[in-house]
Amino acid sequence: MTSPVPVYVLAGFLGSGKTTLLRLAIDALVQSGRRPAVLINEIGDVDIDGPILEREVPRAEVLSGCVCCTGSGDVPLVIEKLCTEHNPDAILIEASGVANPLSIVDSVTDASFLRRVELVRTITVVSAPQLSATLRSHPEGKLFRLLRDQARAADTIILNKSDGVGREESNRLQLALREWNAGAAIASTEYGRGAVPLLLEAKPGRMNHRRFKPLPILFEENASCSLSPPKPKHATHSFLKAHTHYFRAPIARESFEAYLAGLPDQVYRVKGIVRFKGDDTLSLVQYCYGQSHLSAIRPRQAVQEVIVHIGEGFSEERIEEALAELENENTNWK
């Protein structure tokens, strides 16, 4: 009998570095002759990361929400389809930044009814600067609870972006994570470097989520989730929303940079693919908590020129107005 296909779940809050780690894991698997497939789950309407992965690997998306809100129904079927069509020997699932990894663990368990798959690792990536800021300014807030839930559900925690905090702070954060999850392996990284062996070479069977159940308060009914079929339990992330905008025209880079610099604090994460006027290439937009990064990309396939804003309580109308202004600024451009 063939051995089950190992499944690795990568979870962690928006912008913590999941895709960065996913890329490293894909590289490591492909270089060692393996055939990984990837399932990407996004809170927005579009998958921005998938089409621009450097490696051509079988890929599927579950969009518009997180696994716990779309219902676990989609994920087992998508895993089954990936297995039937591509016969992978490893499956990497990147959870949406607002998912509780336990919901995905549930889905993988359901998938094992259809296929010989086995959840090997549940990895939560935590942004060190964000954890540091959240512990200081929002203890016991909703964001704090989501971060804590994500850390509690993992068997491996990657404290990433350690370049953004000093060594002393990094040690303090690791202690805080240890308090939340005493059984997890914890590693501190920059750009996920060095984390892949921990992720892929670990032996199955030490599934921490069996020991760390979420606190009941974190599974309040989420009235705003209208997707069906409803799951009996929803993670408390209804405070977050995603706004998607498809560009109608190229925009001026300088104005766009000024726009990003002026975004309100309630916008936590912006991701997108933008065409700047006068540029031959497209640009990937990355924005996490006030830090933005623009890089030229040449996607292997046709991609949308689109931008997704994710955050809490921001005005979607204001975002639309500002983006329309950027686009109109360009109507005179030749």
Q: 286, 309, 311, 314: which one contacts ligand GTP (CB under 6 A)?
A: 286
Q: Quick check: 326 binds ligand GTP (CB under 6 A)?
A: no
Q: 54, 85, 163, 316: which one contacts ligand GTP (CB under 6 A)?
A: 163
Neighbours of 182 (CB within 10 A): 10
Q: Quick check: 271 binds ligand GTP (CB under 6 A)?
A: yes
| 29 burial type by CB count under 10 A (0-12 exposed, 13-18 middle, 19+ buried) | buried
How many residues form the binding site for ligand GTP (CB under 6 A)?
21
- Looking at residue 215, the DSSP 8-state letter turns out to be P
Q: Quick check: 19 binds ligand GTP (CB under 6 A)?
A: yes
Q: 9, 16, 225, 231: which one contacts ligand GTP (CB under 6 A)?
A: 16
- Between CA 117 and CA 109 the distance in angstroms is 8
Looking at residues 218 to 257 of the shown chain, list those that interact with ligand GTP (rule: CB under 6 A): none
Q: 152, 241, 269, 309: which one contacts ligand GTP (CB under 6 A)?
A: 269
**Pick from 1, 84, 102, 70: nearest CA to 37:** 84
Number of helices and strands in the chain (H, E): 10, 12
| 85 burial type by CB count under 10 A (0-12 exposed, 13-18 middle, 19+ buried) | exposed
> Which amino acid does the sequence have at 258?
A
Q: Quick check: 41 binds ligand GTP (CB under 6 A)?
A: no
What is the nearest approach in angstroms of ligand GTP to the Cβ of residue 256?
16
Q: Where do the DSSP E strands lie in 161-266?
A: 185-188, 240-246
Q: 5, 18, 24, 119: which one contacts ligand GTP (CB under 6 A)?
A: 18
Q: Quick check: 15 binds ligand GTP (CB under 6 A)?
A: yes
Structure tokens at 54: 């450097």
Q: Quick check: 273 binds ligand GTP (CB under 6 A)?
A: no
Write the CB contacts of 83 (distance below 8 Å, at least 6 apart in sequence). 5, 37, 91, 115, 117
Q: Which stretch binds ligand GTP (CB under 6 A): 15-23, 177-185, 245-253, 312-320?
A: 15-23
What is the nearest approach in angstroms of ligand GTP to the Cβ of residue 247?
19
Looking at residues 182 to 211 of the shown chain, list those that interact with ligand GTP (rule: CB under 6 A): 190-191
What is the nearest approach in angstroms of ligand GTP to the Cβ of residue 270?
9
What is the nearest approach in angstroms of ligand GTP to the Cβ of residue 163?
5
* Three-state SS letters, 100-146: CHHHHHHHHHHHCCCCCEEEEEEEEEEEHHHHHHHHHHCCCCHHHHH
Residues near ligand GTP, by CB under 6 A:
12, 14-20, 49, 97, 160-161, 163-164, 190-191, 269, 271, 286, 288, 293
